[in-house]
Amino acid sequence: MELADIGQAQQERLSHIDFKAFFLGVVGRNDLVSRFGIKEAAATRDIASYRELAPKNLEYDTKAKAYVIKPGFKPVFEYSPTQVLAALSQGFGEDFVGTHKAVVPCEMPTNLNHPVLPVLAILTRAIHQGKAVRINYRSIDSGQSQREIVPFVLVDNGLRWHVRGYCRKRQAFIDFVITRIADPKLIEGELQDKETREEDIQWNRIVEMEIVPHPNLPHPETIEMDYGMKAGVLKVNVRAAVAGYVLRRWNVDCTEDHSLEGAEYHLWLRNTPALYGVGNLSIAPSRNKLDDELLGSK
What's the gap between Cα 219 and its chain centre?
29
DSSP three-state, residue 18: helix
Q: Which of 83, 155, 85 is nearest to 120 (CA)?
A: 155
Q: What is the pLDDT of residue 95?
A: 56
Q: What is the pLDDT along the chain (298 residues), one digit of tens a residue?
A: 788 889 999 999 999 999 999 999 999 999 999 999 999 999 999 999 999 999 999 999 999 899 999 999 999 999 999 899 988 988 766 555 555 678 888 888 888 889 999 999 999 999 999 999 999 999 988 899 999 999 999 999 988 999 999 999 999 999 999 999 999 999 999 999 999 999 999 999 999 999 999 999 999 999 999 999 999 999 999 999 999 999 999 999 999 999 999 999 999 999 999 999 998 888 888 855 434 444 444 3
Q: What is the pLDDT of residue 103?
A: 85
Contacts 24+ apart (CB under 8 A), 80-84: 84/19, 84/23
Cα–Cα distance, 160 to 158 (Å, whole number): 6
Where are the extended beta strands (E) located within the chain?
Answer: 26-27, 58-61, 66-69, 132-139, 143-156, 161-167, 172-177, 181-187, 206-213, 234-239, 252-253, 267-269
Cα–Cα distance, 28 to 59 (Å, whole number): 11
Q: Burial letters for 6-42: b for 16+ Cβ neighbours within 10 Å, e otherwise?
A: eeeeeeebbbbbbbbbbeeeebbbebbeebbebeeeb
Cβ(49)–Cβ(43) below 8 Å = no
Please list the residue range(s) of the chain that carry CATH number 2.30.30.
117-199
pTM equals 0.83
Cα–Cα distance, 75 to 79 (Å, whole number): 9
Please list the residue range(s) of the chain that carry CATH number 1.10.10.10.
3-90
| CATH 1.10.10.10 is held by the domain 3-90 | yes
Cβ(130)–Cβ(191) below 8 Å = yes
Contacts with 70 (C-beta within 8 Å, 6 or more apart), sequence order: 56, 57, 58, 59
Region for 231 from its dihedrals, namely left if φ exceeds 0, alpha if ψ lies in -120 to 50, beta otherwise: left
Please name the amino acid found at residue 234: L
Cβ(173)–Cβ(191) below 8 Å = no
Cα–Cα distance, 151 to 92 (Å, whole number): 31
Domain 117-199 has what CATH class? mainly beta
Cα–Cα distance, 56 to 271 (Å, whole number): 47
Q: What is the pLDDT of residue 142?
A: 86
Q: What is the pLDDT of residue 92?
A: 66
In residues, how long is the chain? 298
